[in-house]
Amino acid sequence: MANLFFVPQNIITGENAVQMSMQYIRGFGKKALIVTDDAMVSLGNMKKLTDELDAIGTKYAVYSGINSEPTHSMIDAGVGIYQGTGCDFLIGIGGGSPMDSMKAIAAVAANGGSIKEYTGKKLEKPLPPTVTIPTTAGTGSEATKVSIITNTDTNVKMLLSDPRLMAALAVVDPVFTLTAPPGVTVATGVDALTHAIEAYTSRKAFPLSDIFAVSAVTKIFKNIYEVYTNGSNREARSEMATAALEAGIAFSNASVTIVHGMSRPIGALFHIAHGLSNAQLQGVCLKYLKSGAIEQLCGLAKAIGVYRSGMTAEEGADAFVSATTGLLQRLNIKTLQECKVPESDFFQNIPKMAEDALASGSPGNTRRTPSKEEIMALYKELWEEGVKKA
Ligand SMILES: NC(=O)c1ccc[n+]([C@@H]2O[C@H](COP(=O)([O-])OP(=O)(O)OC[C@H]3O[C@@H](n4cnc5c(N)ncnc54)[C@H](O)[C@@H]3O)[C@@H](O)[C@H]2O)c1
Ligand SMILES: [Fe+2]
C-alpha cells in the first residue's frame, strides 16, 4: 500500500531558530498576525520574536487572547483582527493552543464562514503563509495538519484535519521551553509520548511514520523525568523539543487512536488540560489495546531497552506497558478526582463522551477497535483507578 507523507515545507530546529527563520519570513508577506497568549507576552517570548521582525522591517499585529485551550469564539475574534488590521500572513507562538488557533484563523480567513462549521470540511482555498513556533515540547502542532478547537455551544472538541493546515514554516527553538513549569512540562511531554505510541500502534502506521514514532518514544523515555525534575537541563529540553516534533510528524501521518479519542471529550466537558487527560487515560487504554498490538508494543519495549532476550512477544508487550505505567507514576499525574471532576457529572456524561470519542474517528484507528460499550467501560475503569489511588 502506498502512503503520502506530510511535513511542513521547511523546519528550522535548534537554538536561535527564530533568528534564522527571518530569511524565510521576510518573503511571506508585509504584515503578520501574531497569535499567542498573555503568558508569552509576560515571559518575553513575544518580544524575542517581534525584535527580529522589527530588524527585518516586517510589520505585525498581536492577538494574545488564547488564554485557555481554544474555543470557537476565540477563533471568530481572531479572524476579525486578521481582516481588520490588513495582515497577509500569520505566526502562532506558544503551546498547542496558540498554534492551533493561528491555523484555524488562517483557515477561516481563507475559506469563510465560522470555525463551528468546519468539522469534516475540506479546505478548498489555500491558506495565507503560516509559521508555528512552539514553546512547549508537546503537541507537535508545529508540524501537524491538525487543529483542535472547542465548540462551546455543543461542548465538543472539534478535530480539524486537512493538509492545508500544515505550517509553511515550523521554528523549533528548545530555549523557549526552559520556562515551562513542571506541571506543564509533564502534561505536554506525556501528550507527545501519547502521540508517538498511538502513531506506532495505529492501523494507519507505515514505515516512514514508524521511524519518527520510535525515535520520539525513545527520546521521551530518556528525558521526560529529567525535564520534570530539572527543568533547566538544556540538553534534555532540546531532546524533548525534537521528540515532540517527531511525535507530531508521526501522528499527523499515521493518526492518533483510542487515548486521544477518549481524551478530547474529557477536555471539552471538564476543562482538564489535554496532556493531563491523555496521561490519565494512558494506563487503562494501553491495557485494553495490548491484545491487539502485541507485536508493536513489543517493538517499543525493544526501543526503550526493557525487552530482555528470551522474552515472548507478549512478555515484551507487558514490559512496555509496565514501563509506561511506572513512568507515569513517577511523573505524579493527577487523577480525575484530584482535578475536582464531580463524580455524578462524570458518570452522567459517559454515554455522550463515548459517542463523541467514536464520532471523532480516532478510536477506529486502534488495533483493537472499541465499541461504544467498551469505551464506556474504560471511562468507568478510569474513574475507579482514581478512587484506588486516593
Ligand atoms: N494540532 C495538533 O496537532 C494538536 C496535537 C495535540 C494537542 N493539541 C491541542 O493543543 C492544546 C494544548 O496545547 P499545550 O498542551 O501545548 O498547552 P497550551 O498551549 O494550552 O499551554 C498550557 C499552558 O502552558 C503555558 N506555557 C506554554 N509555553 C510555556 C513556556 N515556555 N513557559 C511557561 N509557560 C508556558 C501557557 O501559557 C498555558 O498556560 C489543546 O487544545 C490540544 O487539544 C493539538
Ligand atoms: Fe495530543
Query: Is residue 52 located within the same domain as residue 21?
Result: yes
Name the domain boundary from 177, 210, 235.
Answer: 177
> Residue range 306-323: average pLDDT?
98
Q: What is the reported pLDDT for 390? A: 82
Question: Within 10 A of 384 (CB to CB), how many other CB atoms are there?
Answer: 11
Residue 2 lies in a domain: no
Domain extent at residue 153: 10-177
Name the closest ligand to CA 248.
1
pLDDT above 90 for 1 = no
Cell 503551546, residue? 95
Position 225 in a domain = yes
Total domains, the chain: 2
Asked whether 66 and 103 are in contact (CB, 8 A), the reply is no
Q: Examine residue 345 and state whether it is found in any structural domain, yes or no.
A: yes
Q: What is the number of the ligand closest to the CA of 266?
A: 1
210 shares a domain with 123: no
Q: What is the pLDDT of residue 233?
A: 98
Q: What is the mean pLDDT of residues 273-295?
A: 96
Ligand 2 centroid from CA 196, angstroms: 10
For 255-275, the pLDDT digits (tens) are 999 999 999 999 999 999 999
pLDDT at 16: 95
Q: Is residue 186 part of a domain?
A: yes
* pLDDT(100) > 90: yes
pLDDT at 322: 97
Does the pLDDT of residue 389 top 90, yes or no? no
Residues 207 and 348 in one domain: yes
C-alpha 337 – ligand 1 centre gap (Å): 22
pLDDT digits (tens, 9 = 90+) for 144-159: 999 999 999 999 999 9
Using most ligand atoms within 8 A of CB, pick from 42, 141, 246, 362 the residue to mutate for ligand 1: 141
How far is ligand 2, taken at its centre, from the CA of residue 110, in Å? Answer: 26
88: pLDDT strictly greater than 90: yes
Same domain, 128 and 224: no
Q: What is the pairing mode between strands 146-151 and 156-161?
A: antiparallel
Tens digit of pLDDT for each residue in 12-64?
999 999 999 999 999 999 999 999 999 999 999 999 999 999 999 999 999 99
Domain check: are 150 and 221 in the same one? no
Question: Which 3 state secondary structure label does DSSP give 63?
Answer: strand
With respect to residue 3, please indicate whether it lies within any of the assigned structural domains: no
Do 165 and 198 belong together in one domain?
no
Nearest CA to ligand 1 atom 15: 188
Domain stop point among 130, 162, 177: 177
Condensed to tens digits (0 to 9), the pLDDT of residues 181-216 reads 999 999 999 999 999 999 999 999 999 999 999 999
Ligand at minimal distance from the CA of 148 is 1
325 in Cβ contact with 286 (< 8 Å):
yes
In angstroms, rounded to a whole number, what is the distance separating the alpha carbons of residues 167 and 99? Answer: 10
Rounded to a whole number of angstroms, the CA Rg of the chain reads 20
Prediction pTM value: 0.96
Protein residue with least CA distance to atom 30, ligand 1: 180
Distance 148 CA to ligand 2 centre (A): 9
Residue 67 and residue 170 in one domain:
yes
Q: Does residue 136 sit in the same domain as residue 190?
A: no
Work out the percent of the chain whose per-residue pLDDT is above 90: 99
Q: For residue 119, give the nearest of 92, 69, 156, 85 by alpha carbon.
A: 156
Average pLDDT, the chain: 97
What's the 367 CA to ligand 1 centre distance in angstroms?
28
- Is there a single domain that holds both residue 269 and residue 321? yes
User: What is the CATH classification number for the domain harbouring 94?
Assistant: 3.40.50.1970
Dist. CA 249 → ligand 1 center (Å): 17
Distances (CA, A) of 230 to 138, 172, 186, 224, 227: 17, 21, 12, 10, 5
pLDDT > 70 in the chain, percent: 100
Q: What's the burial of 221, exposed, middle or buried (CB within 10 Å: 0-12/13-18/19+)?
A: buried
Helix 343-359 vs helix 258-270: crossing angle, to nearest 10: 130
What confidence tier does 307 reach under pLDDT thresholds 50, 70, 90? very high
In a shared domain, residues 135 and 171? yes
Asked if residue 53 belongs to a domain, the reply is yes
Q: What number of other Cβ atoms are within 10 A of residue 389's Cβ?
A: 12
CB neighbour burial string for 346-382, b if at least 16 within 10 angstroms, e if fewer: beebbeebbebbbebebbbbbbbebeeeebbbbbebb
The binding-site residues of ligand 1, defined as CB within 6 angstroms of any ligand atom, are: 37, 39, 43, 69, 94-97, 100, 135-136, 138-141, 144, 146-148, 176-177, 179-180, 184, 188, 191, 248, 274-275
- Residue 7: what are its φ and ψ, rounded to 5°? -140, 165
In terms of domains, do 256 and 144 share one?
no
Please indicate, yes or no, if residue 258 is contained in any of the structural domains: yes
CATH number for 209 = 1.20.1090.10
Indicate whether 1 belongs to any domain: no
Of 152, 177, 202, which closes a domain? 177
Q: What is the reported pLDDT for 87?
A: 98
**pLDDT tens for each residue of 226-257:** 999 999 999 999 999 999 999 999 999 999 99
pLDDT at 93: 98
Same domain, 212 and 163: no
